[in-house]
């Protein structure tokens, strides 16, 4: 709880994102009857948690000054590998664990490439993403109609605890844990320090290489897990299920007020960003736009949203933070 409060205090931009989400929600409610219905809200929460899991690792990686472009392929991997393992008769719980652990290891490969071999994050993670895709294609894991999803995945994706979807509950718990880790542990501090200024962090005794490696590993694991629940929801696992989530994972954290350059932001912000993004996704189609206009509107709203929620850094933005940034120039 303290983590959440600290996040709220620390980040006015998160408040901006929450406001943005609220506006979208109100517009939806006014425009369409049933938008605020329990069913729809539950549905939205499930979708938002997909984005939330995809963006979990991404947030850590970006806070640490990196970027993980392998997210969508690891999502596809999580779904397909699980389906294949279960089709082969493996215990379903064990299969989920295997998928997540392999995701973690793939993430670790990203981390090693970036920290030990000094490959640029974009290049490294894109390359690894390509390798994951190649693995799925080459090993012949794919069925033309999509692979059937085991019951555990669809159970998690569709189950409910009372009125609340299971996925949303899991997400809430994970979000609280991540918030505490970021705000209240040495590792959390180290992530922020590494992302803001690598040299300062190293000279202050932080093992920035290890910190980065862990963020990439977490990202791999979180993406694979996202793949499990997303495929469970869809009911089929195929190569393209991860594709929408590359953009979404980055957009959510940026809307939530994180700096894409690292060092600033919170997972709480990303959660709000994921909700805002999901609202937007479900709202726009209600306006009966043709596909082209829909894409344009989507892009524009996100740009405006990001501009409104992140005013820091330009020195010309509004709000106290921007003024402070200018004051710092004084003297």
Partner 1 sequence: MTIIDGAGTGAGAGRGPAAGPAAGPARELVVTGLEKAYGRNQVLRGVDLTARFGTVHALLGENGAGKSTLIKILGGVTRQDAGTVSLGGRKLPPGGVTAAQRAGVRVVFQELSSIANLSVAENLLYRAEPHRAGVVAGRRLQRRAAELLARFGMDRLDPGRRVADLDLAERQLLEVVKALAAEPRVLVLDEATSALSSADSSWVLDQGRQAAARGCAVLLITHRLGEVRDVADRLTVLRSGTTVLVGRPDEFDDDTMITEMLGRRVERLFPPRTPPGEDVVVAVRGGRVGERLGPLDLEVRAGEIAGLGGLQGQGQREVLRALAGATRWTGGEVTVRGREHHPATPAEAIRAGITYVPEDRQREGLLLTRSVLVNSSLSSLFSLVRRGLLDRRREAQRSRAVAGDTGLPEGRLHAPVSMLSGGNQQKVVLARALYREPTVLLLHDCTRGVDVGTKADIFALVAGLAAKGTGVVFYSSDLSELAHFCDRVYVMAEGRVRGRLDAAGGELSEESILRLALTHRADDTGEEAPAP
Q: Are 233 and 42 in contact (CB under 8 A)?
A: no
State in angstroms the smallest separation of the CB of 206 from partner 1: 7
**Interface with partner 1 includes 330 (CB under 8 A)?**
yes
The 3-state secondary structure of the chain reads: CHHHHHHHHHCHHHHHHHHHHHHHHHHHHHHCCCCCCHHHHHHHHHHHHHHHHHHHHHHHHHHCCCCCCCHHHHHHHHHHHHHHHHHCCCCHHHHHHHHHHHHHHHHHHHHHHHHCCCCCHHHHHHHHHHHHHHHHHHCCCCCCCCEECCHHHHHHHHCEECCEEHHHHHHHHHHHHHHHHHHHCHHHHHHHHHHHCHHHHHHCCCCHHHHHHHHHHHHHHHHHHHHHHHHHHHCEECHHHHCHHHHHHHHHHHHCCCCCCCCCCCHHHHHHHHHHHHHHHHHHHHHCCCHHHHHHHHHHHHHHHHHHHCCCCCCCCCCHHHHHHHHCCCC
Interaction of residue 148 with partner 1, rule CB under 8 A? no
CB of 302 to partner 1, least distance (A): 25
Q: Minimum distance between the CB of residue 274 and partner 1, rounded to whole angstroms?
A: 24
Cα–Cα dist 54/231, whole Å: 13
**206 sits near partner 1 (criterion: CB under 8 A):** yes
Residue span binding partner 1 (CB under 8 A) among the ranges 39-47, 152-160, 192-200, 221-229: 192-200
Residue 33 makes contact with partner 1 by CB under 8 A: no
Question: Which range touches partner 1 (CB under 8 A), out of 90-98, 153-161, 186-194, 279-287?
Answer: 186-194
Q: Does the protein bind partner 1 through residue 199 (CB under 8 A)? A: yes
Q: Rounded to the nearest whole angstrom, what is the least distance from the CB of residue 67 to partner 1 in the complex?
A: 20
Q: Does 207 bind partner 1 (CB under 8 A)?
A: yes
Is residue 203 a contact point for partner 1 (CB under 8 A)? yes
Task: Choose between 140 and 205: whose C-beta lies nearer to partner 1.
Answer: 205
Is 116 among the residues that bind partner 1 (CB under 8 A)? no
Q: Does 89 bind partner 1 (CB under 8 A)?
A: no
228 CB-near residues (< 8 Å, 6+ apart) = 78, 79, 82, 96, 99, 100, 153, 156
Q: Does 326 bind partner 1 (CB under 8 A)?
A: yes
Residue 4 makes contact with partner 1 by CB under 8 A: no
Q: How many residues bind partner 1 (CB under 8 A)?
A: 30
| 264 binds partner 1 per the rule CB under 8 A | yes
Task: Tell me if 316 contacts partner 1 by CB under 8 A.
Answer: no
For partner 1, which stretch binds (CB under 8 A), given 29-37, 81-89, 157-165, 177-185?
Answer: 177-185
Q: Does 31 bind partner 1 (CB under 8 A)?
A: no
Interface pick for partner 1 out of 180, 234, 289, 297 (rule CB under 8 A): 180
Q: Does 189 bind partner 1 (CB under 8 A)?
A: yes
Enumerate binding residues for partner 1 (CB under 8 A). 180, 184-186, 189-190, 192-193, 196-197, 199-207, 263-264, 323-331
């Amino acid at each position: 709880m303290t983590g959440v409060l600290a996040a709220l205090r620390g980040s006015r931009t998160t408040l901006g994102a929450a406001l943005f989400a609220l506006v979208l929600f109100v517009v939806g409610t006014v425009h369409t009857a049933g938008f605020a219905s329990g069913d729809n809200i539950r549905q939205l929460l499930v979708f938002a948690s997909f984005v939330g899991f995809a963006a979990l690792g991404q947030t850590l990686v970006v806070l640490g000054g990196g970027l993980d472009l392998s997210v969508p392929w690891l999502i596809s991997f999580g779904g397909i590998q699980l389906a294949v393992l279960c089709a082969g008769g493996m215990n379903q719980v064990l299969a989920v664990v295997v998928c997540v652990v392999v995701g973690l290891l793939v993430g670790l490969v990203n981390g090693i490439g970036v920290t030990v071999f000094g490959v640029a994050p974009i290049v490294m993670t894109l390359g690894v993403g390509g390798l994951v895709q190649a693995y799925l294609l080459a090993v012949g894991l794919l069925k033309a109609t999509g692979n059937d999803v085991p019951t555990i995945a669809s159970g998690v994706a569709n189950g409910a605890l009372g009125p609340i979807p299971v996925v949303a509950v899991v997400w809430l718990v994970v979000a609280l844990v991540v918030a505490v880790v970021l705000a209240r542990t040495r590792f959390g501090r180290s992530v922020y320090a590494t992302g803001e200024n690598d040299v300062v962090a190293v000279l202050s005794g932080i093992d920035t290489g290890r910190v980065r490696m862990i963020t990439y590993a977490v990202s791999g694991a979180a993406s694979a897990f996202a793949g499990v629940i997303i495929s469970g929801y869809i009911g089929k696992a195929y190569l393209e299920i991860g594709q929408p989530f590359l953009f979404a994972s980055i957009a959510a954290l940026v809307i939530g007020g994180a700096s894409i350059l690292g060092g600033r932001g919170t997972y709480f912000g990303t959660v709000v960003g994921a909700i805002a993004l999901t609202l937007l996704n479900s709202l726009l189609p209600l306006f009966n736009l043709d596909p082209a206009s829909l894409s344009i509107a989507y892009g524009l709203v996100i740009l405006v949203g990001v501009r409104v929620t992140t005013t820091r850094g330009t020195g010309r933005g509004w709000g106290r933070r921007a003024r402070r940034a200018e004051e710092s120039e004084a003297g």
